[in-house]
Structure 1
Amino acid sequence: MRSRHSGSAAVADPARVTEPGHYYDKALQTHAVRLMPAEYRVSSEPLALVTLLGSCVAACLYDPLVGVGGMNHFMLPGAAGNTRNDLADGDMSARYGAHAMELVINDLLKRGASRSRLLAKVFGGGNVLSGFQNDPIGTRNARFVLQYLVAERIPVVAQDLGDTQPRKVCFFVQTGRTLVRRLPSTRDDDIVRAERAYYGDLNRAPVAGSVELF
């Protein structure tokens, strides 16, 4: 296991888990919410956001002063390329990084975060899919998120991007503490199959909605 972390997280009471989609993670000793591709979540509660990444990228943003944070999980930089203007086609789905970033930032600001205090940690972008040697999807996603954050003047205080392995990410929204695990090769086939199926569906699925892969 390879992990990175900073800060600390409060221990939660498992009896308090009541909301649909939430669960109590015994290993992390906290409430947790699992994010699927094309989803994002922002919260000020003492919980962790958990996701699995192949070529996808998750951006974790938080304001340490007010204790609010959020994560997205996007599949492609934009509907037609790598810039925020790619949303001109009208697709406002969180499956695209260009909009997924704005969704998280705007939600953070609504919950009392200050743009000037936002910090970012970014993960994923592994080149786990064969057949994409020329500017592979993982590389494009990783490049996009770093360029976006530079343009928005949001400091990146931690990152684990690229390479060829999938990852599991756990992000504690109140503190910014983050755990990253490089997954063993036995998990590669499942994640690769799921991602190939999802990318194949992008051209067939309706614009709205999300697909649960893991």
Structure 2
Amino acid sequence: MRKPPHVIEIFLNPGEFYFGDRDVRIRTILGSCVSITLWHPKLLIGGMCHYMLPSRQGRETRLADGKYADEALGLLFEEIRRSGTALEDYEVKLFGGGNMFQRQVDAGQSHIGIKNAEAGRHLLKHHGLRAASEDLGGAGHRTVLFDIWSGHVWVRQFAPKGVEYCNGS
């Protein structure tokens, strides 16, 4: 699929999400955070969230907050409902959950990135979804680029000692 002549570039900060159409490219930078992409291959619409934590852990509020995995995914699901499409028609991908602290990497310790990745996998399974692709864990941060016109997601992971790899899925 060819790049549209006029691309709208959206940058997601932690706690943000975006849902749009074929003229949109979404990008973000992930450390221990996780992004989930949802893409409708026939209609060329989709979205991405960038969550920071698995859950609120008992803190009550009435407004959904994209900082938390379950609420961020719920915000994307609401956009899908508004579009009049069915969740099962979307391709799902999952990225991030890196370890940003070298001492934890060296010691093989658990960290928030692992918890965020596990939360994403659990939520997808809970909603009957399966990731078509994922790039989770490891050390360092990632840049993520999602082209809604094609459904391609480009990921580059930067390990503490330099670029580890680049892949497109």
TM-score, normalised relative to structure 2: 0.84
Is 1:107 equivalent to 2:79 in the alignment?
Answer: yes
Specify the SS of the correspondent of 2:27.
strand
Q: How does 1:13-52 map to 2 (within 5 A)?
A: 13=6, 30-52=7-29
Q: Which has the higher helix share?
A: 1
Q: 1:143 aligns with which of 118, 123, 128?
A: 118
5+ unaligned residues in a row in structure 1: which ranges? 1-7, 14-29, 81-85, 189-214
Alignment root-mean-square deviation, CA: 2.2
Q: Distance in 1 between matches of 2:26 and 2:139?
A: 23
* Percent identity for Structure 1 against Structure 2: 26
Indicate the residue corresponding to 1:97 in structure 2.
Answer: 69
Task: Output aligned runs, 1:58-77, within 5 Å.
Answer: 58-77=35-54
Which residue identity does 2:60 align to in structure 1? D
Shift of 1:130: 5.5
Q: Which has the higher strand share?
A: 2
Task: Tell me whether 1:157 sits opposite 2:132 in the alignment.
Answer: yes
Measured at CA, do residues 58 and 9 of structure 1 come closer, stay the same or move farther in structure 2, by a change above 3 Å? Answer: farther
Aligned positions of 1:75-90 closer than 5 A: 75-80=52-57, 89-90=60-61
In 2, Cα distance between equivalents of 1:184 and 1:65: 36
Q: How far does the alpha carbon of each residue in 1:115-174 deviate from its partner, in whole angstroms, 9 at most, with x for none? A: 121221110000113676753100000001011101111221010000012100001123
SS at match of 2:52: coil
Three-state SS of the structure 1 residue aligned to 2:139 is coil
What is the rounded CA distance, in whole Å, between the counterparts of 2:72 and 2:157 in structure 1?
24
* CA–CA separation in structure 1 for the residues paired with 2:25 and 2:44: 13
What residue identity is the alignment partner of 2:138? D
Say if 1:72 and 1:101, in contact at 8 Å, map to a contact too. yes
**1-side partners of 2:87 and 2:124: how far apart?**
12
For these two proteins, the number of residue pairs brought into alignment is: 159
**Residue in 1 that maps onto 2:151:** 176
Larger radius of gyration: 1
User: 1-side partners of 2:60 and 2:109: how far apart?
Assistant: 25
Judged with a 3 Å threshold, the aligned counterparts in structure 2 of structure 1 residues 12 and 100 are, in CA distance, closer, same or farther, namely same
Please tell me the residue identity of whatever aligns with 1:57.
V
| Cα distance in 2 for residues equivalent to 1:115 and 1:175 | 18
Q: How many Å apart are 1:11 and its aligned residue?
A: 3.2
**Where do 4+ consecutive residues of structure 1 move more than 3 Å?**
129-135, 184-188
Check if 1:12 corresponds to 2:38: no
